[in-house]
Amino acid sequence: MNRERVFQVLMGPHVSEKAAIVADANNQYVFKVALDATKNEIRKSVEQLFKVSVEDVQTLKVKGKMKRNRYGFSTKPTWKKAYVRIAQGQDIDFAAAE
Protein backbone atom coordinates (compact mmCIF):
# COMPACT_ATOMS: atom_id res chain seq x y z
CA MET A 1 0.00 0.00 0.00
CA ASN A 2 1.45 3.37 -0.97
CA ARG A 3 2.19 5.96 1.67
CA GLU A 4 -0.36 8.46 0.40
CA ARG A 5 -3.24 5.97 0.79
CA VAL A 6 -2.09 5.14 4.35
CA PHE A 7 -2.67 8.75 5.37
CA GLN A 8 -5.97 8.89 3.49
CA VAL A 9 -7.27 5.80 5.30
CA LEU A 10 -6.20 6.77 8.84
CA MET A 11 -7.45 10.26 9.67
CA GLY A 12 -6.26 10.16 13.27
CA PRO A 13 -6.89 8.65 16.67
CA HIS A 14 -10.32 9.06 18.24
CA VAL A 15 -9.81 10.25 21.79
CA SER A 16 -12.68 9.67 24.21
CA GLU A 17 -13.31 8.15 27.60
CA LYS A 18 -14.58 4.92 26.06
CA ALA A 19 -11.52 4.71 23.78
CA ALA A 20 -9.23 5.01 26.82
CA ILE A 21 -11.11 2.25 28.67
CA VAL A 22 -10.98 -0.06 25.64
CA ALA A 23 -7.27 0.63 25.17
CA ASP A 24 -6.48 -0.36 28.74
CA ALA A 25 -8.73 -3.42 28.92
CA ASN A 26 -8.44 -5.05 25.48
CA ASN A 27 -5.26 -3.63 23.92
CA GLN A 28 -7.42 -1.88 21.30
CA TYR A 29 -7.05 1.54 19.75
CA VAL A 30 -9.75 3.64 18.10
CA PHE A 31 -9.13 5.54 14.87
CA LYS A 32 -11.17 7.85 12.67
CA VAL A 33 -10.95 6.38 9.18
CA ALA A 34 -12.13 7.23 5.69
CA LEU A 35 -15.70 6.25 4.82
CA ASP A 36 -14.51 4.12 1.88
CA ALA A 37 -11.76 2.33 3.85
CA THR A 38 -11.99 -1.46 4.16
CA LYS A 39 -10.90 -3.54 7.13
CA ASN A 40 -7.99 -4.92 5.14
CA GLU A 41 -6.78 -1.40 4.23
CA ILE A 42 -7.08 -0.30 7.86
CA ARG A 43 -5.09 -3.34 9.01
CA LYS A 44 -2.29 -2.70 6.50
CA SER A 45 -2.19 1.02 7.27
CA VAL A 46 -1.82 0.54 11.03
CA GLU A 47 0.80 -2.18 10.57
CA GLN A 48 2.81 -0.06 8.13
CA LEU A 49 2.58 3.23 10.03
CA PHE A 50 3.07 2.03 13.63
CA LYS A 51 5.13 -1.17 13.02
CA VAL A 52 2.79 -3.43 15.05
CA SER A 53 0.91 -6.62 14.21
CA VAL A 54 -2.86 -6.22 14.07
CA GLU A 55 -5.02 -9.09 15.32
CA ASP A 56 -8.51 -7.77 14.63
CA VAL A 57 -10.31 -4.78 13.10
CA GLN A 58 -13.92 -3.81 13.82
CA THR A 59 -15.53 -0.88 12.02
CA LEU A 60 -18.71 1.11 12.41
CA LYS A 61 -20.28 4.21 10.92
CA VAL A 62 -21.28 7.00 13.27
CA LYS A 63 -24.37 8.72 11.91
CA GLY A 64 -24.20 12.51 11.82
CA LYS A 65 -26.37 14.32 14.34
CA MET A 66 -29.09 16.84 13.55
CA LYS A 67 -28.19 20.24 14.95
CA ARG A 68 -30.49 23.21 15.25
CA ASN A 69 -29.24 26.54 13.99
CA ARG A 70 -30.88 29.87 13.32
CA TYR A 71 -32.02 28.78 9.85
CA GLY A 72 -33.59 25.49 10.94
CA PHE A 73 -31.66 22.25 11.09
CA SER A 74 -28.39 21.05 9.65
CA THR A 75 -26.74 17.64 9.75
CA LYS A 76 -23.22 16.96 10.93
CA PRO A 77 -21.33 14.64 8.59
CA THR A 78 -21.38 10.87 9.03
CA TRP A 79 -17.96 9.38 9.82
CA LYS A 80 -16.41 5.96 10.29
CA LYS A 81 -14.33 4.66 13.17
CA ALA A 82 -12.30 1.51 13.59
CA TYR A 83 -11.45 -0.47 16.71
CA VAL A 84 -8.03 -2.04 16.08
CA ARG A 85 -6.74 -4.80 18.38
CA ILE A 86 -2.98 -5.26 18.33
CA ALA A 87 -0.90 -8.18 19.54
CA GLN A 88 -0.29 -8.62 23.26
CA GLY A 89 2.79 -6.81 24.51
CA GLN A 90 2.83 -4.25 21.69
CA ASP A 91 1.96 -0.59 22.06
CA ILE A 92 1.17 2.36 19.80
CA ASP A 93 2.81 5.67 20.63
CA PHE A 94 1.04 8.40 18.70
CA ALA A 95 3.76 10.97 19.40
CA ALA A 96 6.51 8.81 17.84
CA ALA A 97 4.66 7.93 14.61
CA GLU A 98 6.47 8.77 11.39
pTM for this model (two decimals): 0.88
Domains annotated on the chain, with CATH: 3-89 (3.30.70.330)
Nearest to 1 by CA among 33, 36, 49: 49
Give the mean pLDDT of 65-91. Answer: 95
Tens-digit pLDDT profile for residues 5-37: 999 999 999 999 999 999 999 999 999 999 999
Q: What is the DSSP string of 31-85?
A: EEE-TT--HHHHHHHHHHHH---EEEEEEEEEPPPEEEETTEEEEPPPEEEEEEE
In this structure, what DSSP letter does residue 89 have? T
In this model, does residue 98 exceed pLDDT 70?
A: no
